[in-house]
Amino acid sequence: MKLKKIAIVAAMEQEGQAICPAPRHERIGKFPILAGTNKDNVSYRCIVSGIGIARAAEAAKLLCAEKPDLILSIGVSGGLAAGLEAGALVAATSIHSDIAEFDSWFEGNDDARLRSELIPSCGEIQCGKLITANEAVLTPQDKLFMHERTGALAVDMESIAVAQTAQKAGIPFGCIRAISDDSKRGIPQESLAGVDESGKTQLGPILKAIMKRPSLIFELIPMGRDYSKALKGLEKILK
C-alpha cells in the first residue's frame, strides 16, 4: 500500500511548523492542526499536542478517528547514544517505556514496511530503540545511565502514548525524532519554562531566569544553536 494520508503528533508548535511545509491552519477541539500535501502528493495532518503522555494520547486518539494510513510521532529528542549529533534523525524500531502504565512498543511488519517507504525521503537516518520518559533527562550523567540501562538512542516524553493509541486503533505507527541535545549536552532546568504545556514558546520565563542568573545565557546560546539544527532535521521528513 502506498502512503496517501499521514497523521502526525508533534508536542511543540515550533516542531509542527518545521515538519509541515506551507500548511493550512485548522483545529480539532483544543488542539491546533497543520494540514497540507507534500511533493509526493501525500496528504498530512499534524496535531500539536503539547507536552507529555496524557496530551499526546488524547491528540493521537483524535487523529486515529480519521483513519490515516500511518500515524507518526515526530519531534525533537534528547540524544543518549554517543556520536548522535544535534540535527541527526533517528527512527524507532522499538520504544522502551519508562512509564508504569504504558508497555513498551515493538515494530510490526506493517509499521516496518511503511517506515521503509517514508525514510528514503529523510536522508541519512539511524534506526533503533528509543525511550519515552515522564521527565526531561537533563544531565550527561543521567543520559549515560539511561542509555546503558536501556540501549536507547534517544529519549522523548510523548511517543509511547502515540504508539499505543495507534496500536489499539489498528493503525500502523512510526516515530522519527531529531536530536536537539547530544549525550554530552547538559540542559539547564530553567530552560524547561520556555515552552508551556500546550507546546507554545514563551520567552517571559526565560528572560526572568536570565535576570536572576545572567550566566544562564552562556548555556542557552549553544543549546539554541543545537535546537535550530534539530528543527532543520525535522524539515527533511515530509519533503
Contact 63, 45 (CB under 8 A): yes
Residue 122 binned pLDDT confidence (cut-offs 50, 70, 90) = low
Helix-helix angle 204-212:216-235, to 10 degrees = 150
How does pLDDT run across 100-114, given as a tens digit for each residue?
899 999 999 888 888
Number of domains in the chain: 1
How does pLDDT run across 195-220, given as a tens digit for each residue?
999 999 999 999 999 999 999 999 99
Model pLDDT, residue 38: 84
Neighbours of 31 (CB within 10 A): 19
How does pLDDT run across 33-80, given as a tens digit for each residue?
999 988 888 899 999 999 999 999 999 999 999 999 999 999 999 999
Residue from 191, 84, 156, 168 nearest 127 by CA? 84
Residue 97 binned pLDDT confidence (cut-offs 50, 70, 90) = very high
Mean pLDDT for the chain overall = 93
Q: 111-138 as b/e, with b when 16 or more CB fall inside 10 Å?
A: beebbebbbeebeebebebbbbbeebbb
Per-residue CA distances from 231 to 5, 31, 128 (Å): 23, 21, 21
Model pLDDT, residue 181: 97
Report d(CA 186, CA 207) in Å as an integer. Answer: 19
Contact 234, 18 (CB under 8 A): yes
Report d(CA 32, CA 26) in Å as an integer. Answer: 6
- CATH, residue 81: 3.40.50.1580
Q: Residue 207 is part of which domain span?
A: 5-235
